[in-house]
């Protein structure tokens, strides 16, 4: 899901307490990863501007010069996080010749991103739950263009057309099952605060879906 961020709050966008001499782009570049960590660990409801400001050493009042409301901060954080994954996803899809190769590429790209920064998993995996809990998120996110989902539906559609897979399942259900399985592995490790590599666990999952993990007697 690629979000085009548009301010939604009613607070003025004029500078309020922005540190003198600060560079907006540099501050936002520090702010979004800190917000991602907090949203991942505490959730949307429990994360405050004070938390985020404290994490990067500015006042919560100064945050209003960058984002007029917490909803805007969350949407920008989500878009930034998705942007970290999209190039590797699209590269995996473009470089694979078969659906199997493309699926494996996307799963392993997700695992590598998690191993670099597990808050990516923490934030993205919680989005469906946050949407159900907070109507303002539902209104802002439902119906948005989703480049990743569109790309995945396209490769499943191609695989069905070519006969690589034979199923009556809808494209939505195919993508849901595929994403749900991979996200579940990542989320389980994130929730347990497992210090091991997700790439290793994802290799096991890949072997399982390829039918290579069980011995045949």
What whole-number distance in Å separates Cα of residue 159 and Cα of residue 153? 10
Q: Is 57 left (phi over 0), alpha (psi -120 to 50) or beta?
A: left
- C-alpha 57, offset from chain centre: 25
**What value does the mean pLDDT take over residues 158-183?**
88
Instruction: Check residue 18 and give its pLDDT.
Output: 44
Contact between 40 and 52 (Cβ < 8 Å): no
Domains in the chain, ordered, with CATH? 70-209 (1.10.357.10)
pTM for this entry: 0.80
Coil, strand, or helix at residue 175? helix
Instruction: Give 48-91 pLDDT, tens digit per residue.
Output: 999 999 999 999 889 999 999 999 999 999 999 988 888 998 89
């Amino acid at each position: 899901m690629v979000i085009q961020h548009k301010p939604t709050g009613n607070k003025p966008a004029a500078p309020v307490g922005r540190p003198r001499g600060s560079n907006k782009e540099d501050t936002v570049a520090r702010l979004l990863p800190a917000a991602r960590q907090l949203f991942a660990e505490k959730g949307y409801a429990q994360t405050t501007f004070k938390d985020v400001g404290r994490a990067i050493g500015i006042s919560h009042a100064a945050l209003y010069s960058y984002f007029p409301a917490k909803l805007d901060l969350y949407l920008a954080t989500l878009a930034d996080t998705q942007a970290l994954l999209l190039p590797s996803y699209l590269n995996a899809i473009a470089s694979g010749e078969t659906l199997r190769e493309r699926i494996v590429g996307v799963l392993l790209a997700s695992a590598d991103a998690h191993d670099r920064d597990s808050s990516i998993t923490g934030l993205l995996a919680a989005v469906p739950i946050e949407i159900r809990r907070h109507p303002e998120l539902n209104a802002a996110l439902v119906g948005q263009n989703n480049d990743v989902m569109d790309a995945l539906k396209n490769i499943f559609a191609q695989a069905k057309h070519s006969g690589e897979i034979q199923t009556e399942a809808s494209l939505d259900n195919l993508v849901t099952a595929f994403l749900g399985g991979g996200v579940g592995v990542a989320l389980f490790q994130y929730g347990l605060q497992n210090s091991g590599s997700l790439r290793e666990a994802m290799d096991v999952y890949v072997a399982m879906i390829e039918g290579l993990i069980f011995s045949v007697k």
